[in-house]
Amino acid sequence: MNAIGFQSILLLLGLAVVLVALFRYLGLPQILAYLCAGILVGPSGLGWIPSTEEWRYFAEFGLVFLMFTIGLEFSLPKLVAMRAIVFGLGGAQVLISCLAFGAVAWWFGVPGEGAIVIGGILALSSTAIVMKLLIEQLEQSSRHGRHAFGILLFQDLVVVPFLILIPTLGTGTGPESVAGTLVWVLGKSALVLGAIFVIGRWLVRPLFHRVAATRLREFFMLTVLLLTLAAAWVTEVAGLSLALGAFLAGMMLAETEYRHQVEADILPFRDILLGLFFVTVGMMLDLGVVRTQWLHILAAVAALVIFKTALIAVLGRVFGMEAGPALRTGLVLAQGGEFGFALLLQARRYEVLDEPAAQIVLAAIVLSMLLAPLIVWHNGRIARRLVPGYTRVRAANLETIRAEAARRRAHVIVCGYGRSGQNLAWMLEQENVPSLALDLDPVRVRDARDAGKPVVYGDATRRDVLEAAGLAHAAALAVSFNDAQVALRILEITRAARPEMPVIVRTMDDADLDRLLKAGATEVVPESLEGSLMMGSHVLLLLGVPVSRIVRHVRDVREDRYRMMRGFFHGEAMFGEEATAAWRERLHSVTLPPGAHAIDKSLAELDLDRLGVTVSTVRRNGRPAPPSAETRFAAGDVLVLHGSAEALEEAEALLLEG
């Protein structure tokens, strides 16, 4: 702490808080805020913080947790399902980019080892920036969004062999033996991966069963940290890298049922250390080099953006994409990425790259990432200008949708044709109710249409698509997928055109129920609560409760908007998927002691709604009763509150103290 300086940490944290708030207000990714903070306070900026090895040590820890998270999200079924995009399109993009950028670096005099690393660094794009912006624009499920995700998935995976390769190249291997080095690296990687897989299969799962059985959250978190850092240390001792061990530790835990709990526990450490990692990267940028080499840097940025856009657009066409979506995929992946920083940090550590080359590459990645939001925001507009037939293709698709909708009247528009959408369409078919489904999976649409199902390719978040699907004369609309943001966009369009039309929205739980209802949903079907209703109905039926009473209970709960069932009591230590919702809305009980502020006051007077809290039940003299606005509270009453953790804390203070 003394080596870095307490004042330096305060300055850095203060500036980071201000910049993150500013960038969030502007709708920009917070990664860029951390990079700018590092550039400003670094030795070549305002000089508030000198460059020290201690900061780079923090950056190493940030890299460790970044790779651990990637390992934790590793999914073999996901890779298999997207293998054509991931290994075909993604593999071709990375290979050609590596060769092209590496050849240019070698032509400019960079040694062979450094040229290989530069090729790998510049082949990568920013997963964090791209996915955040695509999700905000509701483009993650579009054709270019899915292809971009597949390519990013391969890029994340290819970081691992580079993390193994860089320390080996740093031993002084000459260009003439690069092939032998690669063979040796691949062999070593296979041995390490095999050993980790065996250990993870036979040791980690039983270990975490015992740790979870203690129900001590701190013990669970300490075990996760120990496993992560121990795996990182082992791989570094083996001559590989800290980040590789962290990635393998994440892979091991991804195979257990405690994956979601690990994600929830590790999130605070990861975000803080990743912030420090990007700050350190910003501090590494030498503005003096930028001033003297600005022409080379601008040329590098232009070459990076143009070449990656063109390459991915061409490869997309080769892999069967239309010109417009292929170009849009290239545009959203045209920047450098955070894993490029990770490889650059390793390359500098093992002296694979000299300082001038590293600075030019670093500056090019930072500038391309600063440009990324602008390019991603306008990727559709750019594609329409550069691809003359793109609008014609979209117009032809709209004509196809209109032709299908013209054959139907008083039909149901089904947004999404996954499992829930298909089941809904089947039920409508049984009752001879016409329907038309919109889906963004071209393979699913093709197979369904070949089977004679009423499905068309279309993005339900676009006004022209919904209008083409017959929004003006449809009887109802159903959102069959679980995506609240997309559902809100569909509701906005639908309510503007047809305020009176019934709209049914599916959601996973009650977290977004009120928001969807306020946005205009006629009915919201939360799967978890409906599942609870069905389970309760079957249990009561088996216990001999009359069917009429069961039906009445179910009807009352639904008519009351599930209020009695919403939220749940969170224990002190939770494991599994429930922990990921630990900060969502919950239930909390408050007992009113004599002298409490709420005594003799009505629910309307207390106005808990303004805090975002509702009273689910009032328990008086051991008997529960649903509250009304006129309910007046007495000493000893137990109020069951529903709301977020922060809102519940405020509500409890109001009830007890005023």
Q: How does pLDDT run across 548-606, given as a tens digit for each residue?
A: 787 777 777 766 666 655 555 544 444 443 443 434 556 677 888 888 888 888 888 88
Query: Are β-strands 476-479 and 586-591 bridged in parallel, bridged antiparallel, or unpaired?
Result: unpaired
Residue 381's contacts (CB-CB under 8 Å, 6 or more residues apart) are none
Q: Mean of the pLDDT values across residues 430-451?
A: 82
Identify the residue with better confidence: 226 or 174.
226
Q: Which one, of 191, 194, 158, lies nearest residue 67 by Cα?
A: 158
Q: What is the DSSP letter of 609?
A: G
CA 446 vs CA 449, 451, 455: distances in Å: 5, 9, 9
Q: Are 466 and 490 in contact (CB under 8 A)?
A: yes
Q: What is the pLDDT of residue 171?
A: 59
Q: State yes or no: pLDDT of 289 exceeds 50.
A: yes
Side by side, the strands of the sheet bearing 638-643 are 586-591, 638-643, 614-620, 623-625
Q: Are 455 and 437 in contact (CB under 8 A)?
A: yes
Angle at 635 between CA 631 and CA 641, to 5 degrees: 55
Q: What is the pLDDT of residue 315?
A: 92
Q: Mean of the pLDDT values across residues 653-658?
A: 84
Distance CA 402, CA 422 (A): 21
Secondary structure of 125-158 as H, E, C letters? CCHHHHHHHHHHCCCCCCHHHHHHHHHHHHHHHH
Residue 511, Cβ density class (10 Å: 0-12 exposed, 13-18 middle, ≥19 buried) = middle
Quick one: pLDDT band at residue 26, thresholds 50, 70, 90? Answer: confident
3-state SS class at 441: coil
Q: Mean of the pLDDT values across residues 359-384?
A: 87
178 CA to centre of own chain: 37
Q: What is the pLDDT of residue 576?
A: 40
Task: Report the amino acid identity of residue 567.
Answer: G
Tell me: the pLDDT tens digits for 304-344?
A: 999 999 999 999 989 888 888 889 999 999 988 888 888 88
Identify the residue with better confidence: 397 or 335.
335
3-state SS class at 478: strand
| Mean per-residue pLDDT over the chain, rounded | 79
Q: What is the pLDDT of residue 477?
A: 92
3-state SS class at 507: strand
Distance CA 45, CA 27 (A): 25
% of the chain exceeding 90 in pLDDT: 7
Q: Are 65 and 270 in contact (CB under 8 A)?
A: yes
Q: Which one, of 465, 141, 460, 485, lies nearest residue 325 by Cα?
A: 141
Q: What is the pLDDT of residue 333?
A: 92
Residue 490's contacts (CB-CB under 8 Å, 6 or more residues apart) are 415, 460, 461, 466, 477, 479, 503
Q: What is the pLDDT of residue 2?
A: 44
Task: Report the amino acid identity of residue 356.
Answer: P
Residue 130, Cβ density class (10 Å: 0-12 exposed, 13-18 middle, ≥19 buried) = buried
Taking every pair of Cα atoms in the chain, the longest distance, rounded to a whole number of angstroms, is 88
Identify the residue with better confidence: 67 or 120.
120
Tell me: the pLDDT tens digits for 131-179?
A: 778 877 767 767 788 888 888 888 877 887 787 778 777 655 444 455 6
Tell me: the pLDDT tens digits for 455-504?
A: 888 888 888 888 888 888 888 999 988 888 888 889 988 988 888 888 88
Identify the residue with better confidence: 206 or 467.
467
Q: Mean of the pLDDT values across residues 240-258?
A: 74
Residue 519's contacts (CB-CB under 8 Å, 6 or more residues apart) are 487, 488, 491, 492, 495
Residue 122, Cβ density class (10 Å: 0-12 exposed, 13-18 middle, ≥19 buried) = buried
Q: Are 278 and 35 in contact (CB under 8 A)?
A: yes
Q: What is the pLDDT of residue 50?
A: 67
Q: Which one, of 141, 148, 149, lies nearest residue 457 by Cα?
A: 141
Beta bridge partners of 478: 414, 504
CA 481 vs CA 77, 117, 317, 486, 506: distances in Å: 20, 42, 29, 9, 6
Q: What is the pLDDT of residue 583?
A: 40
Q: 3-state DSSP: the chain helix, strand, coil percent, rounded to 5?
A: 65, 10, 25
List domains and CATH numbers for the chain: 6-348+366-385 (1.20.1530.20), 399-559 (3.40.50.720), 585-657 (3.30.70.1450)
Q: What is the pLDDT of residue 86?
A: 79
